[in-house]
Amino acid sequence: MSCILEELIKTFEKVRQNCPWDKKQTHESLTKYVLEEAYELVDAIESKDKDAIKEELADLLLQVVFHSQIAKENNEFDINDVFELLIKKLVERHPHVFGNEDPKAVLENWEHKKAEKREHFLDGIPKSMCALMRCQKIQDRMAKVGFDFENVNQVKEKLKEELEELEDALENGNFQDIEHEFGDILIAIVEYGRFLGINAEKALQKANDRMVKRFNFVEKSLKNEGKSLKDASLEEMDTYWKEAKKFDYEF
């Protein structure tokens, strides 16, 4: 291990031993931080802020070190085992780099090996993954074996069908059925996006950003009039909201 990595491990071991908060953490208690740091890294990458990317990479690396230290204390594995496994994976997945195999054949062989380890074809897609991302991942994998719509028009018809089924569920008033049909609509929307070459998770994230920026515009505009959000009527807020939409691609 290089000097800088040794220093990192020793520094964290000291933190783990002497900081009350760090000392009581477990794999389970840290799960939310792994997700948060990953999202913050994505935000930094999308903002093209090099300093922020470096900072978030450091925070994400901390999670790797943290979990490895917990595992070491539990006599499960340590950071060296993690590095060794990573090296092994890199070599196994790139025989065209470390050997003479064809890249396309390598990819097919790698996917075949992963499939052999699964009891079911859809195993291995994390349940903790964002719902939209997981949905698209499931659809992509099913499509690999031909379980897919033939064209985008079929997807549009499926979406219409699911909307009609939701209307029927609403008329019946059973919440479980309503939730069920609403979920099916979301699946159809992800499928529709997939056929249009759209990543549903990324599209929704961008839409969320637009929603925040529009509402910030509403708030700022009202403030310029000496009003707060609570003082404004729905009509006033909606007027500024519609004005903000004109600048969606300029924010």
Q: Would you list the domain boundaries of the chain?
A: 3-77, 131-198, 201-245
pLDDT, the chain, mean = 92
Residue 120: DSSP 8-state:
S
Alpha carbon of 235 to those of 80, 83, 143, 164, 247: distances in Å?
A: 61, 58, 46, 31, 19
pLDDT value, residue 106: 65
Shared fold status for 3-77 and 131-198: yes
> Containing H/E element for 65?
helix 50-73
Q: What's the CATH superfamily of 131-198?
A: MazG-like (1.10.287.1080)
* pLDDT (average), residues 194-218: 94
Categorize the per-residue pLDDT at 247 as very low, low, confident or very high, splitting at 50, 70 and 90.
confident
CB 162 within 8 A of CB 184: yes
Give the tens place of pLDDT for each residue, 102-133.
777 766 776 777 777 788 889 988 888 889 99
- Burial grade of 188 (CB within 10 A; 0-12, 13-18, 19 or more): buried
pLDDT value, residue 185: 98
pLDDT value, residue 250: 62
pLDDT value, residue 147: 96
Categorize the per-residue pLDDT at 99 as very low, low, confident or very high, splitting at 50, 70 and 90.
confident
* pLDDT (average), residues 88-110: 76
CB 61 within 8 A of CB 53: no
Q: Which CATH class is domain 3-77?
A: mainly alpha
% residues pLDDT > 70 (the chain):
96
Quick check: pTM over 0.85? Answer: no
